[in-house]
Amino acid sequence: MSSFREIRTQSKLLDGGHLECAYHGLCYDATGQCVAIPSQPDKAIPPQARLTSIPVKEQDGVVWVWPGNPILAQRSLPPRTPEITDSENLSIGSPGPLHVPANYLLLIENLLDITHFYPLHDGNIGDKENSKIPVSLDEGVSEGYEFVKTTRHVHGYQQPPYLKEWFLYDTVERIHTHCMVTPGLTRVVMRVAPEGEIGTDKERGYTLLHLHMPVDERNLVWRWSVSCKKWHTTLSDSTMPTAHKVAEMFPEVVAQDQWALERQQQMMEYPDDGYSELFLKTDKALRRARQILMGLQRKERELQIREIGQPGPLKESAAA
């Protein structure tokens, strides 16, 4: 937000990494300090003419931002996303950021619990049989972050139409995992092959990286990336790389999820007096994800209270 009349600072980057406001042309350096005001070049720049500077780190093909205390950003590295930079993979990102009017926790829960594949995605990536696949839960700490992960391993599974097009086979052994790596990243890995052939050159599959950023309690920004082996091609066209075909077809699946997320958010706006949430057997992962996120929020509040109440060394950040 520009320091002048609360207009969003969105225009262009100038030489030297300076940012120019689209309204009055105020120019800011990388620290957020205003360094030029075109309408008064002969006057001193007021010290309050500055923006909040947010730490940014580019790593493994992803640009990460740290909206919290900038000092703490130096103590925590973003999670690695080696799929994007793997020389054997072809990785394709979403057409652009998707702005969804829903709380971002709803998206994380959507990604962790795929029993909604039927009926929401019936006919493309889902079917009723998917809902019957047993699910196991794993949790722990990796790269300094608490994670929660589900695994669905099935034998003799008849693939829905989209998966057959992407991964060739009618009936497969499949290992399907969904992992909330951090509050900002969920990794989905699907591995399929004829029975007993997972781990051989007959294996097909993908890695989907979902990047989710909260804007406020009612809005999120969603980006995704798909990675497949660069020599894998589709069923209908042996010259079409699988990653390209997935990236072409996946937006339809995303649109169905967005439809559901928006309606979930609308329901959350209604008074919930007398309402009791019903949890299913497959909801263990999303309940654990809620606990992890609530714990991180609690640590952030404790940190803020400590900073205000008494001097002392800063604790490790809980933000991701």
Question: What tens digit of pLDDT does each residue of 166-213 get?
Answer: 999 999 999 999 999 999 999 999 999 999 999 999 999 999 999 999
Q: How far apart are CA 19 and CA 34, in angstroms?
A: 9
Per-residue pLDDT at 271 exceeds 90? no
pLDDT score of 314 more than 50: no
Mean pLDDT along residues 279-292: 83
Q: What is the pLDDT of residue 252?
A: 98
Residues facing residue 190 across a β-bridge: 176, 206
Residue 218 pLDDT: 96
Q: How confident is the model at residue 309 (pLDDT cuts 50, 70, 90)?
A: low
Identical fold for domains 1-53 and 84-286, yes or no, is no
In angstroms, the CA 285 to CA 207 distance is 19
AA letter at 50:
R
Annotation: CATH topology of 1-53: Rieske Iron-sulfur Protein (2.102.10)
Confidence at 317, pLDDT banded by 50, 70, 90 = very low
Buried b (16+ CB within 10 A) or exposed e, 288-318: bbeebbeebeeebeebeeeeeeeeeeeeebb
Q: Single out the residue of 15, 39, 189 nearest to residue 114, CA to CA.
A: 189
pLDDT by residue (tens digit) across 73-90? 887 889 999 999 999 999
pLDDT at 308 over 80: no
Give the C-alpha separation, 59 to 54, whole Å: 16
DSSP annotation of 199: T
How open is the CA angle 295-297-300, to the nearest 5 degrees? Answer: 110
In the predicted structure, residue 266 carries a pLDDT above the cut 70? yes
The pLDDT value recorded for residue 186 is: 98
- DSSP bridge partners of 209: 187, 225
Query: Looking at the domain that runs over 84-286, which CATH code has it been given?
Result: 3.90.380.10
Domain ranges within the chain, ordered by starting residue: 1-53, 84-286
Whether 269 shows a pLDDT value over 90: the answer reads: no
In sign, the C-alpha dihedral spanning 163, 168, 169, 170 is positive
Instruction: Answer yes or no: is pLDDT of 151 > 60.
Output: yes
Mean pLDDT over 42-60 rounds to: 91
Per cent of the chain over pLDDT 90 is 68
pLDDT at 72: 76
Our CA angle for 296, 299, 303, nearest 5°, is 140
Q: How far apart are CA 97 and CA 94, in angstroms?
A: 7
User: Pick from 106, 146, 154, 102: which is nearest to 127 by CA?
Assistant: 154
State residue 194's pLDDT score.
99
